[in-house]
Amino acid sequence: MSQQSPDRSTPARRSRPDASMSLLTNVTEHSLDEGYAEAAARRAAEGSAGLPKTLRSKLGLAAGLVLAAIVVTVGAAQARVEAPVRAKEREELISRIEDGTERSDTLERNVERLRREVGAAQREALEKHGGSREELTALLAGATPVHGPGLRLVVDDAESTAAGGDGPRESSSFADSGRVRDRDMQHVVNGLWGAGAEAVAINGQRLTAVSAIRRAGEAILVDNRPLAPPYTVLAVGDGQRLRKAFQNSAGGQYLKVLQDNYGVRASISAHERVDLPAAPSLIIRTAKPLGADGKSAADTGKGIS
């Protein structure tokens, strides 16, 4: 006999009428986010437990100002204490500088005195062994001062030493092509010698047969003594003839190129008298002439008195 199983199906669960309004209900019930609520509660607790925030800020600012005032006061007091010490150190430094300067000046005066003594001894020896040609020998060696007719040549840098131009000066290490250089003065002096000058001096420095015109950086040295522009060159000789001969020489033409292309300034004038000093120091050398057989005069019994 078959039995019919009872119906086990349960009736469907009925949903709430406001189920579709759950989002709106949640917003209504929880109008403030939990994070904001927690922050508000924490601020309320801090406010009730301590001082207000504005008062704490003012107290912090006041403490910072007090600390800054203390630092400034301590620094000022320390500077006031150290001021006498620094003043004493400064005075000691100035005294040391003055003492060193005085010693340097004294040594320089001694060097000049000794240089004059050596020069006088050299000139005396040169005059003693010069024989009948002692005056000419002394003149050519620069051992004695000399004066007579001659010319005055002044060479100076260009007004604007930034002037440029074409030519071999561009390959030099100098930045300003309008500046007078050691090789320029070499050309000028060689031109004067070639034109017939009997004696030459640059800014009071007498030139001899062994004088050297060199440079150190941008300074021109004559026998290791620095010179400053303008460079005044004095030459003894027939002024008018010497002037014309120099202007027509290679040195004069070289100076003309410097004037025209690089702005170097130069002026030349003849004078009835120019005065040249003696060379500050001389190098005395001896020589022995060779005979016809190639032997020295000393070996053949012929010597120079």
pLDDT per position as a tens digit, 103-161: 998 998 898 888 778 777 766 766 666 554 555 666 666 767 888 999 999 999 988 76
Residue-level pLDDT at 217: 81
- Residue 289 domain flag: no
Asked if 159 and 263 sit in the same domain, the reply is yes
The answer to whether 152 and 271 have CB atoms below 8 angstroms apart is yes
Check which CATH number belongs to the domain holding 171 and give it: 3.30.70.1880
* CA distances, 295 to each of 285, 286, 291, 304 (Å): 20, 16, 5, 15
Residue-level pLDDT at 300: 38
Residue segments in the chain with a per-residue pLDDT below the cut of 70? 1-37, 44-53, 122-123, 125-141, 143, 161-177, 281-305
Distance CA 178, CA 171 (A): 13
- Residue 291 domain flag: no
Distance CA 279, CA 210 (A): 11
Asked if 122 and 71 sit in the same domain, the reply is yes
Q: How many domains does the chain have?
A: 2
Distance CA 238, CA 253 (A): 20
Residue-level pLDDT at 189: 93
pTM of the predicted model over 0.85: no
- Residue 202 domain flag: yes
Q: If you search the block for the tokens 């009835």, which residue do you land on?
A: 272
- Residue 244 domain flag: yes
- Residue 255 domain flag: yes
- Residue 285 domain flag: no
Amino acid at 134: E
CB-based burial label for 9 (10 Å; 0-12, 13-18, 19+)? exposed
* CA distances, 150 to each of 142, 222, 223, 246 (Å): 16, 21, 23, 12
Residue numbers of the domain that contains 51: 33-129
- Residue 3 domain flag: no
Task: Give the pair of three-digit tokens for residue 250.
Answer: 């290679």
